[in-house]
Structure 1
């Protein structure tokens, strides 16, 4: 082995950051290459998310019109639905991506290769999680544009506020994703169980933080509340209180760390049982 690769993955030096940066780029490139290679499946997934929203939107208009109401009566809630759907779309991808990655790598027979990576299995999966978040935010942006065009609504889209709030919000569901990814290492097929979380996220996105403040400690809840304020009322990131931002970041990092610890424990169990590369 040449000395160059060894230096690029050495621990504790600046070359480690260079190596991790290159690894992150390769992970992102691979993920988007697979997405484009199976573009029909990707397009169907995006279309499905949009069609569900269109059913809710046009169905709501039909119901209101059927009872003699005016479509304008939906204005008070429509913006909230759009913002909530936007966050739910991204959370769904960020959460399910890790367990999906584990299942895919097991099917391809490459999971043990990742485990033997000089960067460490945990670092590789953290970078995969980062790639999933980036991909989810890109898909969420597409869905947001489609929703705004369909409804004719306008929202405040300040990227300097939305990107940090969404990123911190998704950290919590990534932590839950690590838990299910760890279970996938051991039990392989857990899709039926993990799919239940998608329905739970709907409730988390719409949780009434004003009525029950403790709900802010649950995943997505605080992020959803701040995102609503930003996109519906134009509040900037620096206009939120220190307490609101501390809760947002603390909940995100807390769930991420706990989920990662569970994932590392499950990976040791899978290795001890000899089922790391089995499917």
Structure 2
């Protein structure tokens, strides 16, 4: 290495360290509310309600966990959230894969026009369609039922768009070879396209599950009892019925957040890949 190249290398190393430091700083700032939530969750009632709060507990109270579960059926809410998030994730993954395959591989009149219209629904805010969805579910007697909770969120244009772009990147030669070997369209889809599209399907599933776990608005208006209330709605019910007991409320919030953190770390590579695929790479 020549002496002229040393300043360039040193500059690159310094820039890399600066980027790492900036990422660490942003991460630390982002985690501050989470750390505060966990610390307050272990405080006593007096500490959490003090006029001048101290976020570090003067004494730790792990019994707040039991108290939170005693005040509301938190375990039931968590189980309901799993049902809701998993149900919508499975259904949307299946429907999006089938629709995306049709738009990417099948040729029929008006295909591109129909896909453009379908994609245009992404520009409509979900709040605009909330009342029509509620009226439709009510007319079908779906209020406070699992079909009423899950089905309206089982079909989205973004899932179809993401998988269609991935399917377009799969060479047609694989599918045509399978068709020459005697496979029909359905067999080619299941045995060729789906295995090759596992990364995209897994990415869609991760994004959908995390999004539905945090969904508050739709479960809030469609569920009327503990039989279908999710964790997000349960936290609202907790505050309404027990007042603002910050330590117990934040303990309940901590409990509902832990499964989501576990899911994120288990599926981190799919989550990062999903962010990369969102650009769609000009495919």
TM-score normalised according to structure 1 size: 0.31
**Larger Rg belongs to:** 2
TM-score by length of 2: 0.31
Structure in which a larger fraction of residues adopt helix: 1
Kindly indicate whether structure 1 or structure 2 has the higher relative contact order, using CA contacts under 8 Å at least 6 residues apart: 2
